[in-house]
Amino acid sequence: MSSIFAPVCWRPTSPSMRSNFATGIRPVTSFRSLGNPGKINSYCIGRLLEKMRRALSVKHLKNGDYGLQISDQGIVRGRIEWDKHQDGRPLLVIDGREINWDQFGSMLMSYEGWQFKLTIADKSEEL
């Protein structure tokens, strides 16, 4: 199996998008899907596009009374990166936004006392 890679890029066009871009929304989100080496066909590409559509249609964070919060579904999906500004601590990319470990911890505090389940998967898998 090999990986099909699709970077998604956009440029901020409206004033609100430019504002979001300036406050940390990353200009590139990437998607991967597994397929047979040398046999990338319309079915594989269609599967990848459908995966991209599903992922981009869900928002896991919302702006609340106390800043950025986890959306009402209580589910967060994203990617783990390395934060060079925080001595190599984890940096999460959620909904295209860079969220540092302290910011994510603050978001979790509204769920104090609750249980949680953490699932980590390869970037080619869909969660």
pLDDT per position as a tens digit, 75-85 = 998 888 888 88
pLDDT for 29:
62
pTM as predicted:
0.64
**What integer pLDDT is reported at residue 76 of this predicted model?**
92
Find the mean pLDDT for residues 51-74.
86
CA distances from 10 to 22, 27, 28, 99 (A): 13, 6, 7, 20
pLDDT of residue 49: 81
- Nearest CA to 104 out of 59, 79, 70, 75 is that of 70
pLDDT of res. 10: 41
At 112 the pLDDT is 94
